[in-house]
Amino acid sequence: MKKLIIVSSLLLGILLAFTSCNNAKKNKAKRDISALSDEEIVNIATKAYVYGYPLILMDLTWKVGTNVEAPGIRTSSAPANQFGHFREFPDHTMTDVVKPNVDTYYSTVFFDLSKEAFVLSVPATERYYLLPMLDAYTNVFESPGTRTTGTDAEDFLITGPFWEGEAPEGMTQIKSPTSLVWLLGRTQVKSKEDGATVVKTIQDGYKLVPLKSFGKAYTAPKGVVNEEYKSIVPVKTIEAMPINTFFSEMAALLVKNPPFEGDEAIINDMAKIGIVPGKPFSMDGFSDDLTAKLEAIPKAVDKNFKSIVASQDPGTLINGWGKAYQAPNMGNYGTDYNFRALVAYVGLGANLPQDAVYPNTALDGDGNLLDSDSKYVVHFEEDQIPPAKAFWSLTVYNDQNFLAENPINRFALGDRDDLTFNKDGSLDIYVQRDNPGEAKYSNWLPAPAEGNFELTLRLYWPKEEVLNGTWTPVPVQKVQ
């Protein structure tokens, strides 16, 4: 686990925020840009935007996910520090999180660990589950579940970066490096009936209470609904956010979510242009030309993300699928801020490779964009069928990275489905807009009604051949 940066003069805003938050917000961050050219300022600001992108996106997702009075029935939204559970699979109407999966039920918690610690209790179960915890920068710093902690009942003490104390006997302490934490749990579901019985019981067994209330009667408080948060669609909201607002929000978030050891270089550079923890960012004193260049950064970064996702560079692809899933630092990014931001953009909440990998493609095997006007087949030879210890699935997403609306509400196919295999043990999945006919219906994965789309292959608890690269996803074949 990464160590937090020791507080220095650059991070003085952190101390100010705890002792005199209101005063800090009133004061503009001091900067000395006299030695910097406009090009250098824009370069630093662009790097700072990429560095802070996951932090802002997590905060927006936190605001959406906690903006309710009580846990919902058809959503995993819940007040802060409370479990919310999906009791049904998400569909095309879900836009809170990009690329949701439809082969597990989510159980989520948006923690605020700035004031107290919480006890997470999990039940004994033979069902595959995982409860990965993401810090404010989207690193998975812990992942309790079948693979890591087994299937016995257990109590975990979840603490934030400023908590001091000793874990009670019998509890395993999990130390978060940031105050904002997103637990994005998943429990395997075999069918709708299975979800309503077995999985519901497992989810009800996930308990969360403040440490001070552990072992006592506890009623979770009502949440507070903020009307402004109702209009947030995280990825779209962040793209439309003015750059000065972005940096001010980022500076505020850095207070409760301190940078890591290794981030010193970018923290120092940000301070040179006035991005300091706990203090608002201002472009006062910048020329009109420089201000315009800074204001153009969000769209430029968004355009770059889109170009990378749609990249046809053979060096970044395997049979048309992105190679990012092979990255050993997936879910634990270190100082690879570009990769961290890109993963947040295309699939916020990515797991560690040992827990799950997500090969993704927007291209067919010939390098052309997947288009709903065309028909495709994904053909797995018997020895190419995705090797996973838990389960696998193939999901269609539209060009906004949300589930693709279709007439039969089928968003994914995988090993939990009643698929028809060929006589030789191979498997064909038909990806197209129109029904391919009765003989192929069980293996039909509907494409969107119009436009381009993407496919994501999920392998939970992948086998070693996936992790070492000896297995690779097959190309998507365009057919007549």
| Residue 338 near residue 50 (C-beta atoms within 8 A) | yes
DSSP letter for each residue of 109-144: EEEE-SS--EEEEE---SS-EE--EE-TTS-EEE--
Residue 10 confidence (pLDDT): 30
Bridge partners, 112 (sequence order): 180
The predicted model gives 120-132 an average pLDDT of 95
Which residue did the predictor score with more confidence, 29 or 272?
272
Give the SS3 label for residue 376.
strand
Q: Quick: pLDDT tens for 290-302.
A: 999 999 999 999 9
Across 390-401, average pLDDT: 93
Three-state SS string over 419-476 comes to: CCECCCCCEEEEEECCCCCHHHHHHEEECCCCCEEEEEEEEEEECHHHHCCCCCCCCE
- Give residue 225's pLDDT band: very low, low, confident or very high (50, 70, 90): very high
Statement: residue 380 has pLDDT above 50: yes
**Residues 258/180, Cβ–Cβ less than 8 Å:** no
Min mean pLDDT across 9-13, 35-39, 268-272 is at: 9-13
pLDDT tops 60 at residue 1: no
- What does the pLDDT read at residue 29? 52
Query: Cβ of 320: how many Cβ atoms within 10 Å?
Result: 23
Q: Does the pLDDT value for residue 431 go beyond 90? A: yes
Q: Mean pLDDT throughout 191-214?
A: 94
- Tell me the backbone φ, ψ of residue 319, rounded to 5 degrees: 55, 35
The pLDDT > 90 percentage for the chain reads 78
pLDDT the model gives residue 311: 65
Looking at per-residue pLDDT, the higher value among 317 and 204 belongs to 204
What is d(CA 75, CA 93) in angstroms, rounded to the nearest whole number? 11
Of the candidates 127, 90, 126, the residue with the CA atom closest to the CA atom of residue 108: 90
Q: Which residues of 397-409 are buried (b: 16+ CB within 10 A; e: fewer)?
A: bbbebbbbebeee
Contact 320, 364 (CB under 8 A): yes
Location of structure tokens 């948060």: 229
Instruction: Name residue, tokens 């969107």.
Output: 448
Half-sphere exposure of 399 (CA within 13 A, CB side): 12
Q: For residues 345 and 27, which has the higher predicted lDDT (pLDDT)?
A: 345
Nearest CA to 135 among 334, 328, 353, 354? 334
pLDDT tier for residue 12 given thresholds of 50, 70 and 90: very low
Is pLDDT above 80 for 303? Answer: yes
Neighbours of 472 (CB within 10 A): 16
pLDDT at 377 over 60: yes
* 412 contacts 447 by C-beta, under 8 angstroms: no
* pLDDT of residue 384 exceeding 90: yes
pLDDT (0 to 100) of residue 90: 76
Q: Higher-confidence residue: 241 or 327?
A: 241
| DSSP 8-class letter at 369 | B
- List, for residues 42-76, the tens digit of each pLDDT value: 999 999 999 999 999 999 999 999 999 999 766 77
Indicate the pLDDT class of residue 9, thresholds 50, 70 and 90.
Answer: very low
Average pLDDT over the chain, rounded to an integer: 90
Q: Are 182 and 133 within 8 A, CB to CB?
A: yes
Residue for token pair 């400023």:
162
CB-count exposure of residue 144 (10 Å: 0-12, 13-18, 19+): buried
Decide the pairing of beta strands 104-112 and 84-85.
Answer: antiparallel
What SS3 class is residue 243?
Answer: helix
Query: What pLDDT score was predicted for residue 314?
Result: 60
* pTM, rounded to two decimals: 0.81
β-pairing, 453-462 vs 388-398, is antiparallel
